[in-house]
Amino acid sequence: LAVPGLIDGHGHYMSLGESLMGIGLQGTPTWEAVLDLVARAVRQAKPGQWIAGRGWHQDEWDQPPA
């Protein structure tokens, strides 16, 4: 099978799928912004549903975490 344009010789497709099922926290400027996104996910989640997130970078926040 040849698929033009798909030339990735090494992929982490399971990790990609898992990341798409969680909360993307990239670009959050503060801890409060992270908590806001998590709270929004909690409101939309079914009882007992796990909530996972990734991608925050506290070194890029407006203020370092206390």
> What are the pLDDT digits (tens) for 11-46?
777 877 887 889 999 999 999 999 999 999 999 999
Indicate the pTM of the whole model. Answer: 0.70
Tell whether the model's pLDDT for residue 7 goes beyond 80.
Answer: no
User: Which of 52, 2, 63, 66 lies closest to 28 in space, CA to CA?
Assistant: 63
SS3 labels along the chain:
CCCCCCCCCCCCHHHHHHHHCCEECCCCCCHHHHHHHHHHHHHHCCCCCCCCEECCCHHHCCCCCC
